[in-house]
Structure 1
Amino acid sequence: MAQGSNLPEKNGKALFPLYTVTFIGTLGFGIILTFLVFLVTEYGGNALIYGLLASTYPAFQLIGAPILGRWSDIYGRKKILLLSQIGTLIAWIIFLVALFLPVTELIEVDSDILGVFVITLPLLAIFFARALDGLTGGNVSVANAYLADLTSEEDRNRNYGRMSVASNLGYVFGPALAGVLGATVYGEVLPVSAALVISIIGTAIIILFLPEAPACTPEEYPNPESTRKTLGQEHKECYKVKNEKKLNLRDVFKIEYIPFMLMLYFLIFLGFNIYYTAFPVFAVDALKWSPAALGIYFSVISAMMAFVQGPVLERLARRYRESILIVTGGFILGIQFILLIPGNIFLIYLAAAFFALGNGIMWPSILSVLSKFAGATYQGSVQGFAMSSSSFASIIGLLAGGLLYTQIESLSFLIAAVIIFIAVILSFRLIKIEKQKK
């Protein structure tokens, strides 16, 4: 076998640093998530600029993720995860420098459609930082492939759930930490500095504690009709594309069910990112929330989601098929978007509970199903293209969220709900597929 000979499928010691790196990555992002919308406003931007800035990361991730995913198949997961982490580290340095630049006006816009905003020098530097972070931002797809390398199929859903717990814990503590540090006289400087230090710690953990999965040299492209190879039952073998060509999108689409999963990825991220742009602006504009209030809300969601993706998902995964969890979770998630529309504080926090429950049982199940369809052969490449699909949806969703909010305000959440419900309807196909594979 070309890989996995010295990496047992159930390796808690190997997974623990992977969970830690995931936690540290989201902790840094959770810190900035709390005050980014306020920072954009302070430097002259509006809802559209906030959406544009938020979409910069996935736009460049769309370019970098497939490349990094492919490289992780060839050169090893650890090297590429380290490359990604170093890119994030440099990006935070640029972000910190941006806070000390003079607020020089570069472009001023006054439009009925786009609104009124100013592009300033610090905003431009922050855009550059987010672009660099996105370009090297294949860490999620590489981490997902890494986990698949180390985990047997029967344990994969549970372990993806645990990695999601680690991710959500970062969103629990990140906004809370940002609220404490941002309340000082140093403003945003301390939270960004904290994110920089956290990135340094993440880099050190990868270097010192994360084991390397041996590089995979594929030998033959998997036959789409071979469900044994497609579903990863020959879990540790590697195959090579004929004529040694790189695995491109056309090759990925030859793997059974992968195009369908990429479409689901796209729809889910499209709905999510309309919400991710519209809600912070809605919280500031309509609800008059402070950075601390917004941070508390995100922390509450993440804390509940960590609970759902831990003991709750573990119990549900033993009783129900992944396809059932995907459909049920997606339906609950769609309802939460509708609860946000009236702007009632009780309904908004009820929506937080629906978000945690729906996303908490749906998303790890989506990741598990995708990894099974990809198999061990091109795990990194498929995860990279899945990340590209989500990045493309994020670009559209984040930009659309900004534009929609400037035009229809809270009704933007209704658009997000409709998109999620479409994904739920399509997901019924997974129930049929799972029954066929029994």
Structure 2
Amino acid sequence: METDKESRIHDNSPAPPIRENISLFPLLTVNFIGTLGFSIVLPFLVFLVNRLGGNAFIYGLASSMYPAFQLIGAPILGRWSDIYGRKRVLLLSQLGTLLSWIIFLIALFLPVVTLFKVDSEVLGTFAFTLPLAVLFFARAFDGLTGGNVSVANAYLADITEEKDRNRNFGKMSISSNLGFIVGPALAGLLSVTEYGEVTTVLGAVVISLIGTAIIVIYIPESKECSLDGPVDSGVIRKIFGYGIKECSTAREKPGKPSFREVLKLPNIPYMLGLYFLIFLGFNIFYTSFPLHAIAVLDWSIAEMGVYFTVLSGLLIIVQGSLLPRLSKRYSDASLIIFGSLMLGTNFLLLIPGNLFLTYLAAGFFALGDGLMWPSFLSLLSKIAGKNYQGTVQGFASSFGGLASITGLILGGLLYELFAGRAFLLAGMVIYTVFLLNFRLRRFEKELKY
């Protein structure tokens, strides 16, 4: 963490101005559409993987393709957004998402040709087929260009005063949760049509196309090239019709740190470690829960969609009503601590496989995640400072991606071996985060000096 005084010492470049006149609505809409495009396949992805020859391990592996390649792409896109501007990188990321859904759609029409089979005591029995291979590629490509979340967070930090960070990151979370409401509900409706999965993925293609149009038409640039001084015409090129400064001296400026330099920023490594653990717990849940819902609760695609819709609806209530009030009375660190305690309890309630406890767990999940995550992002943006937003957010996404790879694969394996007890590990991870979060109180005190 850098205090304002330290920031002035280490960076002589002027801080980018806060654009108070920039409306949040287009950015929130793009965030909503991005989440909707992702969540629309959540209820049926596990069914699709099984139909194409996979099992729980392959489902976890397929889910991990996005974060695995996001681990590569997010830091690059975050750094580019610091140099070339947020809008251009958002557009590049959205175009990648659009193309990935088109590839996903093609996979549904390919013949189910077996490439190889596996029969293992640890990995289980599965056949890796041609459609699964193309589906893997689609998710990998989306991950490689999937820096939209980190860039959107950096964009929001650019145009928001510190006193409004918690509230505006709460709005971003609400827009994401709205996407999680509409997506699974829409998937449940489309799953009962004649074309089922094809219609659902086609919907994701259309949604991604709308998101691309909104970025082009309605989102202004929040951060131009941050390097000072004149720029020769030889270092200006065109991307998607925009004249872009190459900022060829970026590596010479201390304001654009490398990975090693990011880790040297005060308190940033600790925050990235927490980011990793939070995502690890989440993604064990995201793999294990659909498998648990099918095996123990005997849910259909529609019932899965209803649960995710209820969960997201509760999240919106927490973030839209409760979070704004509590953020005025309590610090980010206090909300993060309380939220992580509630979130860990949610995972323990899932273990018995009881329908009532499962929906009760959704309430704890909404309360925990709804208070913790926007507050965590708010504190991270404050610690990163005005000049490091894109780079730090990009590396944070990479840490989240690494945790997602581990959690998604581990979640499938754990459920194969231990069934509902896999949620116990997710709960223990989040309880560990709860204990580590107490140190964040000191980080907040340092920000004031």
Q: TM tier, shorter chain?
A: over 0.9
Aligned to 1:393: 403
Out of 263, 278, 290, the position equivalent to 1:253 is 263
**Counterpart Cα distance in 1 of 2:65 and 2:377:** 24
Residues in 2 aligned to 1:156 and 1:281: alpha-carbon distance in whole angstroms: 37
Superposition pairs for residues 280-295 of structure 1, below 5 Å? 280-295=290-305
CA distance in 2, matches of 1:428, 1:381: 26
- Cα separation, 2, equivalents of 1:32 and 1:437: 41
CA-CA distance at 1:242 after TM superposition: 7.0
1:375 maps to a residue whose letter is G
- Post-superposition CA distance 1:68-92 (Å, at most 9, x none): 0000000000000000000000000
- Corresponding residue SS for 1:256: coil
- For the pair 1:432 / 2:442, whether they are aligned, the reply is yes
In structure 2, C-alpha distance between the alignment counterparts of 1:134 and 1:388, rounded to whole Å:
11
- 2:162 maps to which residue? 153
Offset, 1:3: 6.5
- Deviations along 1:378-412, one digit per CA (max 9) or x if unpaired, are 10000000000000000001110011111011100
Matches of 2:86 and 2:251 in 1, distance apart?
A: 23
Q: Secondary structure at the match of 2:299?
A: coil
Partner of 1:275: 285
Alignment-derived partner of residue 84 in structure 2: 75
Q: What is the distance in 2 between the residues matched to 1:212 and 1:404?
A: 44
Return the offset for 1:433.
2.6
Q: Secondary structure at the match of 2:261?
A: helix
CA distance in 2, matches of 1:17, 1:434: 31
Q: 1:125 to 1:100 in 2, by over 3 A?
A: same
Q: How does 1:235-254 map to 2 (within 5 A)?
A: 243-244=252-253, 247-254=257-264
Q: Which residue of 1 aligns with 2:385?
A: 375
- Find the counterpart in structure 2 of residue 341 from structure 1: 351
Equivalent in the alignment of 2:47 = 38
Q: Which of 100, 105, 109 is matched with 2:114 structurally?
A: 105
Deviation at 1:322, TM superposition (A): 0.6
Offset of residue 243 of structure 1? 3.0
CA distance in 2 between partners of 1:218 and 1:391 (Å): 29
Q: Does 1:91 align with 2:95?
A: no
Distance 1:400 1:129, change over 3 A: same
Give the secondary structure class of the aligned counterpart of 2:224: coil
Cα displacement (A) at 1:247: 2.3
Partner of 1:232: none
1:143 aligns with 2:152: yes
Matched with 1:365 is 375
Deviations 1:185-237 (A, max 9, x none): 10100010000000000000000000012323257xxxxxxxxxxxxxxxxxx
1:117 is matched with which residue: 116, 126, 129? Answer: 126
- Tell me the amino acid that sits aligned with residue 111 of structure 1: S
2: CA distance, partners of 1:254 / 1:72: 21
> Is the contact made by 1:2 and 1:216 (CA closer than 8 Å) also made in structure 2?
no
Question: Displacement, 1:2?
Answer: 5.5
Determine helix, strand or coil for the equivalent of 1:186: coil
Determine if contact 2:191/2:197 at 8 Å carries over to the other structure.
Answer: yes
- Residue matched to 2:212: 203
Letter in 2 for 1:337: F
Deviations 1:18-67 (A, max 9, x none): 00000000011111111101100110111100000000000000000000
Q: Secondary structure at the match of 1:101?
A: coil
SS at match of 2:128: strand
Q: Secondary structure at the match of 1:217?
A: coil
Asked if the contact 1:241/1:247 (under 8 Å) is kept, the reply is no
Q: Please give the alpha-carbon distance, in whole angstroms, between the structure 2 residues aligned to 1:130 and 1:250.
A: 29
SS state at 1:14 partner: coil
> Is the contact between residue 3 and residue 215 of structure 1 (CA under 8 Å) also seen in structure 2?
no
The answer for the alignment partner of 2:420 in structure 1 is 410
Contact preservation (8 Å) 2:383, 2:447: no
Is this contact kept in 1: 2:87–2:215, CA < 8 A?
Answer: yes
The answer to whether the Cα contact below 8 Å between 2:345 and 2:364 also exists between their aligned partners in 1 is yes
TM-score by length of 2: 0.90
- Aligned pairs (5 A) from 1:8-27: 8=19, 10-11=20-21, 13-27=22-36
Match of 1:262 among 272, 275, 278: 272
Distance 1:435 1:363 in 2: 20
The CA distance in 1 between the partners of 2:172 and 2:354, in whole Å, is 33
Aligned partners of 2:115 and 2:128 also within 8 Å:
yes
Cα displacement (A) at 1:175: 0.4
Amino acid paired to 1:216? C
Structure 1 segments (4+ residues) deviating >6 Å: none
3-state SS of paired residue (2:386): coil
Paired residues, what number?
416
Q: Partner of 1:133 in structure 2? A: 142
- Cα contact 2:65–2:136 (8 A) shared by 1: yes
The answer to whether structure 1 residue 47 and structure 2 residue 69 are counterparts is no
TM-score with structure 1 setting the length: 0.93
Alpha-carbon distance in 1 for matches of 2:251, 2:114:
54
The Cα RMSD (Å) is: 1.5
In 2: Cα distance, 1:340 partner to 1:52 partner: 23
